[in-house]
Amino acid sequence: MTISHVHCRVKDLSGAVQWFTSRCGVVPSFSDARMAVLEFGPFTLILDAGSDDSVATIGFNSLDCHADFTALVGRGAQVVQPPQDRPYGARVAYLQGPGALTIELEQLLPSAV
């Protein structure tokens, strides 16, 4: 088996779609009043309209964590934690996504590859 998609509830569906469109440059492949489908290569994030926000961390692989972090912050993303090298061989940064979602950027460091 391989993972294909994850559903996350958001109270403000149109705001969450706008967040991913303006910060990540992804446009929904499908969207209506109940859900939006955002495709990131082989992985799909489905945002469902809900009465509460899912608490989840959405992790993205990055070839240059600092550059991706700087680009997202430049497009209005709020910083949770700037890029830091971790003892497990990755540089990781966290940003506040829409609702209760956290966006994680992870770059494997050369010694870990």
Residue 32 pLDDT exceeds 90:
yes
Give the global pTM. Answer: 0.93
Q: Which domains does the chain have, with CATH numbers?
A: 5-112 (3.10.180.10)
Q: Which of 67, 56, 71, 43 is nearest to 104 (CA)?
A: 56
**What percent of the chain has pLDDT above 90?**
95
E strand or H helix at 38, and its extent? strand 35-40
